[in-house]
A and B are shown apart, each in its own frame.
Chain A
């Protein structure tokens, strides 16, 4: 298990290989489809963005409401491919370095990870209660009107992740599945 911190630099990213288990600490930003769309529309309109994405990691999550006395409710990853249309611009133009989600990504996303030395992590889908325990602070920093889809700033400690697609474009899904596929399947 490798321990890493945000913000991520190229050197750290290059040491991470598809399939590695890592424990991430530091700051994460959250964002789902609606927030991505707004960020991209704002950028294209030439207006100022409400968050600085340089070196940052976005976690694709729409958490449950926090119970009284709790930082956040259940908070596992959502399906990443819904963000694929927006990701290349965020990485190439806005300096985003990492993403956390679940599921396959498009070829365009893999290409931009390679070109910009960025990385895609996986969190365990459906393990929201456990993941929420590793989130030590949460505050909404943009788009509060989006509710569960607002952009939060999260502080996490030893957030358990798996490298899904590394900066060389290697893919943990393809490699893992190929090992266990039986003849005739």
Chain B
């Protein structure tokens, strides 16, 4: 049994919150470079330039990329041979979020009750997704998610007869409705199959996949290409002001489902595609 102390977990989460909010991944920089070269609109090119300049500034100054530093979404992959010592795992995660958002001067955007709406003051609680996996590692991914793109997301329980065309139609509906609110160029995460909550989780998780990487199943990879082509034909463009690049990428994840179901969840990610991970 490998032992991991909650103190190390809290420290890691603190660091990941700050890192995710200030520095984007190499895949993002590559995707933006491609976007600039493909963009046809002069204003669109300028806007992509500003977005890159902003990300560079954030990385060099440690200022958050975007002021909406979001809900802290935390994915845990816990090896079944790991033993957590020294206290509660979820308390440690929330302690890390609290310290990250306070010490990193990140915005606190969480209200304790959806109807009473009082700010908790430290951006807790985190949204925690836990998976038990083989092995003796603990993988922690922090993916802060702002409201502009999250509020533009959607889920629909389609009929099996709607098929692939139905999936495409629904994704396009969500992307069109999101328009400028989701701060394009966006990344589109799609979860198909499972049930209601499974499809939503697939969509969210797909946003962690590196930009430019296709699904291993050929028919899903083809669907991703088709969706990307259609989304980039809408003309929405950078910031919704018109152009070729509405999305940097589309990721689709699938899961077995019921004979009578075809759930589709679309999770929109803004250009501030923030996530950071560590393995303990």
CA A102 to CA B68, docked complex, whole Å? 13
Q: Is A29 an interface residue (CB 8 A)?
A: no
B50 touches A73 (CB 8 A): no
A133 x B234 contact (CB < 8 A): no
Partner of A127, one of B44, B54, B234, B235: B54
Q: Which residues of B (158-180) have their CB < 8 Å from a CB of A?
A: 179-180
A184 at the interface (CB under 8 A from B): yes
* Distance (whole angstroms) from the CB of A180 to the closest CB of chain B: 4
Contact B107 A125 (CB under 8 A): no
Question: Is A160 a contact partner of B181 (Cβ separation < 8 A)?
Answer: no
For A147, the closest partner residue in chain B by CB is B119
**Contacts of B47 on A, CB cut-off 8 Å?**
124
Contact B242 A130 (CB under 8 A): no
Q: How large is the interface on A (under 10, 10 to 19, 20 to 34, 35 or more residues)?
A: 35 or more
A129 lies within 8 A of B242 (CB):
no
- Does any Cβ of B come within 8 Å of A64's Cβ? yes
Residues of A within 8 A of B107 (CB): 62-65, 73-74, 148
Shortest C-beta distance, A37 to chain B (Å), equals 12
The answer to whether A124 touches B41 (Cβ under 8 A) is no
Q: Which of A129, A179, A182, A185 contacts B64 (CB 8 A)?
A: A129
CB distance from A99 to the nearest CB of B (A): 15
Residue of A nearest to B146 (CB): A126
Point out the residues of chain B lying under 8 angstroms from A66, CB to CB.
105
Q: Measuring CB to CB, which residues of chain B are less than 8 angstroms from any residue of chain A?
A: 40-41, 43-44, 46-47, 50-51, 53-55, 57-58, 61-69, 105-109, 119, 147-148, 151, 179-181, 183, 230, 233-237, 239-244, 270-272
Residues of A within 8 A of B (CB): 19, 21, 61-67, 70, 73-76, 78-79, 81, 102-104, 122, 124-133, 147-148, 160, 162, 172-173, 175-182, 184-185
Other A-B contacts than A64-B63, A130-B50, 20 sampled, CB-CB below 8 A, are A21-B43, A64-B64, A65-B105, A78-B148, A103-B179, A104-B181, A124-B47, A125-B270, A128-B67, A129-B64, A131-B54, A162-B43, A176-B241, A176-B243, A177-B236, A178-B235, A178-B242, A180-B235, A180-B244, A184-B233
